[in-house]
Structure 1
């Protein structure tokens, strides 16, 4: 995916170029949103200021935290059955979520004036980060890809989602059970809303976890979707707008160190927290439809794993072996094994997510 620069020369798509383009895209989107809604970009209740502050803050913290993680030998254990090109990443510090998720949440909570909604979504985000931290810690301790058991992990995820739903039921109006759709349509779900609300955080956190397999992929896609949800949250929920902008900026700052070639990985600590934050903002701002569309990459990545496993089981022969629908799942690994470079995958996924997010804003 080389872009023509001038005749006879090409401009190689690098992690740094992708990062700069992402900064330009998110920054200009935040500025335009503030301008169209009459907010001053430098004022306290804006998208731009919290985005920039948290991006600079987490980017700077990373220069201190990454060497510490490296000194603690918190190196990633690479799965042997993954793309062989990834084996060279073994030993890269992981668990990076611990240095940018808590500071960004602290800023968001104080910036929003300790809004109950922001405190609730922050609590769920931190709870999912804690689950990821437990998983990462066990992986590092065992020096294998086996962390806490899938059953324990899911039980913890479902439990956190249930607590969030209990808070939601006790604090939100009855109209919360009506789900907004594009073009102003409403879908009254009644009691069925609660199973959906319980399912979304678990599904989204696992989806973001599956997407975190290529340098800069989950962090960049997450930053785009978070900012989009922040745009949609205003003016009904300005606190959620600030929270989304802070978290978007935090993931952007993390990309200073996570862009290709990555100096640190977010680990399950960061990827599960990302899913929790996205689900919480979408539920509280009634923009689940936007999360599904803008976060289409997360959906496709999850669907590819489900399809791969289902097809393998359905085609299993007498020898106990089945056929594979993709060369490897999630889908980004299939593209890698098909000859795409990591930066090609990331560049295309950023572009698709950006287009889908702008579409959500346009039809809102």
Structure 2
């Protein structure tokens, strides 16, 4: 029997509630054991903030598993598929590794070894990519060693991509939550709409993952009271990668060409390459940030693991966006990529979908460059610009704004202003308004 959507929504809200309730005690625990590292040069926040938020998220994951295994419509998933067990095994390893790193700052090679171990355990228990969807064919089947290497590589890249994007309050949790929601919509459509039972485990895991992000986001939104740390970011990366591997590797490609209920085949509604394209689209921003970071650091003669302030979210702050606006912009692009692909999979290459996505992209570019447009507008208006508007830095470039305020205050460095809360200048100076709470940074 196919479980109704209310069962999955119940799992989402239970997981969110448990994660939310556990985050407060976990914060106190992190403060007690001193899991509050000193401020580093690349950080955006100004005061030490406790980590270990991944403990609360892992508690939400365990609760979701426990409740789902006792629900009549969901318990069959745990007996008919090895995916939940494999994901929980890998999640436990990566979570323990992250907890140790949040407390003692492990070496990057040690963390990489732990990530490989977690991915290997998942592959050993059967969670692997068996085929690749290729348009015009029934799928390209992989050899065992090819599937193993591809699965481990995808998991490693996704874990580190999510870890890299964890640089602003609520950014990582919100981005992964959006990706998990897109996965849920697509997997539920395969499971409930077409009866493809292999997608049932992905539907459950994505619902639980979305609940974990939602529950933690309440505490992690700007100004954040706790960071998820590597114990949370690596856990989220592994789970979202597990969803991708499960959809791509477990669903039989021949099912996409079968006729459903005597109507048009599912391939007409769900293109065969969507299972591969969707996982790539929902993590497009983290992957792009990861690739740019590696290229940037290698080009500058640094280690690819050496942290800096050149991530996408740092560049949004340098453009003049506030902390919250930068996070919302990242949410916008993540949602556009994820739900755009889901809409395409549901309706095919409909012209109105393509036009709609193009129009939304244009809107996103306008919002992205809004500080520059404000600068040009204010410069043309001159003295006609309202006083409240001139108080901001919209009428000046970041360098000019810093120089002017230094001259006005007679100071050698820029003077913080309330509206600059969380902003990072091109010189790497972090501003915080009076009484501002700590934010977060690329950790």
TM-score, with length taken from structure 1: 0.74
How many residue pairs match? The answer is: 295
Match in the other structure for 2:62: 105
337-346 vs 267-276, greater mean Cα deviation: 337-346
1:272 to 210, 234, 237: 234
Structure 2 gap segments, 5+ residues each:
69-73, 192-197, 249-274, 303-307, 346-443
Shift of 1:196: 0.8
2:200 matched to 1:238? yes
Preserved CA contact (<8 Å) 2:89 2:121: no
Match in the other structure for 1:261: 223
Shift of 1:131: 1.3
66-75 vs 50-59, greater mean Cα deviation: 66-75
In 1, the alpha carbon distance for the partners of 2:18 and 2:162 equals: 23
Taking a change above 3 Å as real, the CA distance of residues 288 and 110 of structure 1, as seen in their structure-2 partners, is farther
In 2, the alpha carbon distance for the partners of 1:96 and 1:110 equals: 22
Shift of 1:270: 0.2
In 2, the alpha carbon distance for the partners of 1:182 and 1:359 equals: 19
In 2, the alpha carbon distance for the partners of 1:272 and 1:162 equals: 15
Shift of 1:54: 1.5
In 1, the alpha carbon distance for the partners of 2:134 and 2:222 equals: 37
Preserved CA contact (<8 Å) 1:109 1:119: no
2:332 matched to 1:351? yes
Shift of 1:347: 0.4
2:85 matched to 1:119? yes
Taking a change above 3 Å as real, the CA distance of residues 293 and 283 of structure 1, as seen in their structure-2 partners, is same
Match in the other structure for 2:168: 214
In 1, the alpha carbon distance for the partners of 2:4 and 2:141 equals: 36
127-136 vs 232-241, greater mean Cα deviation: 232-241
Shift of 1:167: 1.9
Q: CA RMSD in A?
A: 2.4
TM-score, with length taken from structure 2: 0.62
Shift of 1:329: 2.2
68-77 vs 150-159, greater mean Cα deviation: 68-77
Preserved CA contact (<8 Å) 1:290 1:360: yes
Shift of 1:52: 1.8
Structure 1 gap segments, 5+ residues each:
1-37, 139-146, 314-320, 322-326
Match in the other structure for 1:64: 25
Taking a change above 3 Å as real, the CA distance of residues 148 and 183 of structure 1, as seen in their structure-2 partners, is farther
In 1, the alpha carbon distance for the partners of 2:138 and 2:334 equals: 23
Shift of 1:164: 1.6
What does 1:1-364 correspond to in 2, within 5 Å? 40-42=4-6, 44=7, 46=8, 48-80=9-41, 82=42, 86-88=44-46, 90-111=47-68, 112-113=74-75, 114-115=78-79, 116-138=82-104, 147-168=105-126, 176-180=129-133, 186-190=139-143, 191-234=145-188, 235=191, 236-286=198-248, 287-313=275-301, 328-364=309-345
In 2, the alpha carbon distance for the partners of 1:216 and 1:181 equals: 36
Shift of 1:185: 7.0
Question: C-alpha deviations, 1:113-136, integer Å up to 9, x for none?
Answer: 235311211221221111111111
**Higher relative contact order (Cα pairs below 8 Å, separated by 6+ residues):** 1
Preserved CA contact (<8 Å) 1:95 1:269: yes
